[in-house]
Chains A and B, each alone.
Chain A
């Protein structure tokens, strides 16, 4: 019974701009056979409330992601570089406390 679905629908990731001033945010996924159907399902599922401005759907298998195995070296860029933050440096005002 599930065969028909398995062989025809693909997963689509859904991104919603919930209101003005915000970037599109990932909200979940839907299953559909083509982009228009994915958009229609995403509309039904993720915009029943509020005043949404725009919706994107992207085929899930089109998302290129970093895998966990290579996570450490891949994201090591952020490590051991305290000088990327303002509080690493002398305060601009004498006696100023850094919040961070």
Chain B
């Protein structure tokens, strides 16, 4: 098969086309598989809605990783020491890697990553609005890694058991690496908190600005009534969450995960000696959780920063990077299509188990 097939090249795992004579039977098989907690794999039959929900979620997740490189990436050349710079480069590289793991997982569902990037560039697919906030000081890189990545780990740990096999496998890689990010962010803030009063104030300022984007936006909109909302939008969110949970794509509501994050992070803030900018945070003995200011739709919408200066700059930067890389893609394509003499150099990538190159 050549790369000129009308649908574009696909991963080997991509679903096979073909008639489905016993649709109902296959649907029952699929439901049983999910109910048993088994993985759905790329060549299995799956409902269209399941495939669409996965593509949307995985693409949005991948885009968030790619756009998420920008706030911290801006500080790479201004890191205070060579050590901090090396660490931040490693962290930003990981984010790029996470995006690529996820595009690879999405392609097993029969889409092409070039189309997904196109949709991102055109504003047809979204990314976590958290990254529409600017990283104003060096301390922001610490606050982002601690709070945003901390929220991401809380969100993503259950996704390691999501029902779609390739997504779950990508998430297991990602979660292992995110753990380093959270520790790194905490470590950066700790260094500032143990420094001069100015450094401490810088850490507090960064946490003040990144708290709401993390707690509101990294978990998605409110989807239960505990968030103190009975708006139709919340009912819709709840319906989507229920569907995702029934299919084993998600295991918890957004608000459950939000609570879990707050419970993790409040003691860590105390350890740093920093205040989280929410006067509603206090331990609730009855519930066995920390109370916090409700993230209702008004708060959620208010933190989106849609069409802000930074939001427009994020997409413009991404589009420019893609455009500026066009000559590299063209050169690579020209190189691949160069005429080669028959019986040219022997293939050095021979991979047999018994051969020394294996």
Please list the residues of chain A having a beta carbon within 8 angstroms of any beta carbon in chain B. 1-2, 4-11, 13, 17, 24, 28-35, 37, 39, 44-45, 48-49, 54, 56-58, 60-63, 65, 67-69
Contacts and interface: CB of A to CB of B under 8 A. Distances in A.
Interface in B1-49: 1, 3-4, 8-14, 16, 18, 43-45
Contacts of A29: 11-13, 104, 107
B10 A68 contact: no
Nearest to A41: B100
Given A7-B4, A8-B333, A33-B332, A68 B112 contact: no
Contact of A2 (B14, B90, B115, B177): B115
B16 A31 contact: no
B336 A33 contact: yes
A57 B349 contact: yes
A73 B235 CA distance: 46
Given A11-B107, A60-B10, A61-B9, A68 B44 contact: yes
A34 B335 contact: yes
A1 B118 contact: yes
Size class of the B contact interface (CB-based, 8 Å): 35 or more
B16 A67 contact: yes
B291 interface: no
B interface: dominant SS: helix
Nearest to B358: A54
Contacts of B349: 35, 39, 56-57
B3 A28 contact: no
Task: State the 8 A-B residue pairs at the shortest beta-carbon distance, nearest first.
Answer: A8-B333, A2-B114, A63-B12, A33-B336, A60-B12, A5-B114, A2-B118, A33-B332
B341 interface: no
A6 B329 CA distance: 11
A89 B199 CA distance: 73
B351 interface: yes
Contacts of A30: 100, 104
Contacts of B9: 6, 9-11, 60-61
Given A5-B113, A61-B3, 12 more contacts: A1-B323, A2-B114, A7-B4, A8-B3, A8-B329, A8-B333, A11-B9, A29-B104, A39-B349, A45-B97, A67-B18, A69-B16
A11 B97 contact: no
A interface: dominant SS: mixed
A62 B11 CA distance: 10
Contacts of B115: 2, 6
A34 B97 CA distance: 20
16 contacts: A2-B117, A5-B114, A5-B117, A6-B114, A7-B333, A11-B12, A13-B11, A29-B104, A29-B107, A33-B335, A49-B177, A54-B357, A54-B358, A56-B349, A61-B1, A68-B43
Between A11, A13, A17, A61, the greatest number of chain B beta carbons within 10 A of the residue's beta carbon is seen for A11
B114 to A, nearest CB: 4
Contact of B43 (A1, A4, A67): A67
Contact of A34 (B8, B113, B117, B336): B336
B233 interface: no
B101 interface: yes
Contacts of A65: 12, 43
A4 B357 CA distance: 33
A4 B94 contact: no
B308 interface: no
Interface in B109-130: 112-115, 117-118, 121
Nearest to B169: A28
A77 to B, nearest CB: 18
B12 A61 contact: yes
B270 interface: no
Between A35, A54, A56, A68, the greatest number of chain B beta carbons within 10 A of the residue's beta carbon is seen for A68
B12 A13 contact: yes
A55 to B, nearest CB: 9
A6 B326 CA distance: 13
